[in-house]
Structure 1
Amino acid sequence: MAKTKRLVFNKGNLDRLPAPESGRVYHYDAKVRGLAVCVTSTGSKVFYLYCRMDRKPTRYRIGAWPEVSVAQARDIAMKRLAEVV
């Protein structure tokens, strides 16, 4: 199993994330719990929020980077987490 990768999301860090040779790699934000960016082999980067809803693990798609900024992704994630609690 791959080790969880946590980093502070910012423009520079997201721009430098390498695309895997195949499949997907998830990197988690160090500031907002459950906020992740998925990097695919084609180089696309999409923000997701992972949380539990009704005791079930749920993945919520926030939007693609750079159309959705880090600040927007964090704001959406925090609002969504507030709804869950």
Structure 2
Amino acid sequence: MEKRFKFTQQRIEKLPVPDKGRFEYYDTEISKLICRVSSTGNKSFAVLKKTDEGTTKRVTLGRFPSMPVALAKELAQSALTEIAKGVNPTEEKRKRRYRAISLEGLLNQYLADKKTYVRKQLSITARRSEPALVTGSRCRSIKSLATW
């Protein structure tokens, strides 16, 4: 299959999935718009743009089919406009995301993650120590088990 063609809903749906790695296909209407197809079957739209330093920036727009081709083309045009103005769309998206996070939300997320981690660690510790505790100490009194 050719690497450059006009992106349509049907053409993107029919793109083959590679055995390993990724394939990149380029739109003929918007030359910087690409569709990346991974070996897992994921298809995503992105914009490639060379910077003044000579590096290539990739701005991921979204996944197909939740993002239709028409919307991907619109977003590609706006991303290319922002890049031409010297704005990095990826950095702007990251800044908006961080501005939306409050200290309370961050703390709640941390505590939820910590709670899950502690619960998992306690479960592992209990499984490891249960046989030793049960076999040798089943009939002993609590007072005799105390070390103080």
Does TM, normalized by the shorter one, top 0.5? yes
Bigger fraction of residues in helix:
2
Structure 1 runs not aligned, ≥5 long: none
SS at match of 2:11: helix
Alignment of 1:6-21 (within 5 A): 6-21=4-19
2:23 equivalent in structure 1: 25
Bigger fraction of residues in strand:
1
The amino acid of 1:73's aligned partner reads A
Percent same amino acid among aligned pairs? 33
The amino acid of 1:63's aligned partner reads G
Matched residues, number: 82
Whose relative contact order is higher, 1 or 2, with alpha carbons under 8 Å and at least 6 apart?
1
1-structure distance, mates of 2:35, 2:4: 10
Structure 2 runs not aligned, ≥5 long: 85-148
In the TM superposition, what whole-angstrom CA distance separates every residue of 1:27-84 from its partner, at most 9, and x where no partner exists? Answer: 0111102100000111110001001244331000100001111111110110111122
Q: Moved runs in structure 1, 4+ residues, more than 4 A? A: none
2:36 equivalent in structure 1: 38
Higher mean alpha-carbon deviation, 52-61 vs 65-74, is at: 52-61
2-structure distance, mates of 1:31, 1:9: 8
The amino acid of 1:43's aligned partner reads G
1-structure distance, mates of 2:41, 2:5: 18
Alignment of 1:1-85 (within 5 A): 5-55=3-53, 56-85=55-84
Taking only aligned residues, the RMSD between alpha carbons, in angstroms, comes to 1.3
SS at match of 2:35: strand
Q: Which has the larger radius of gyration?
A: 2
2-structure distance, mates of 1:81, 1:72: 14
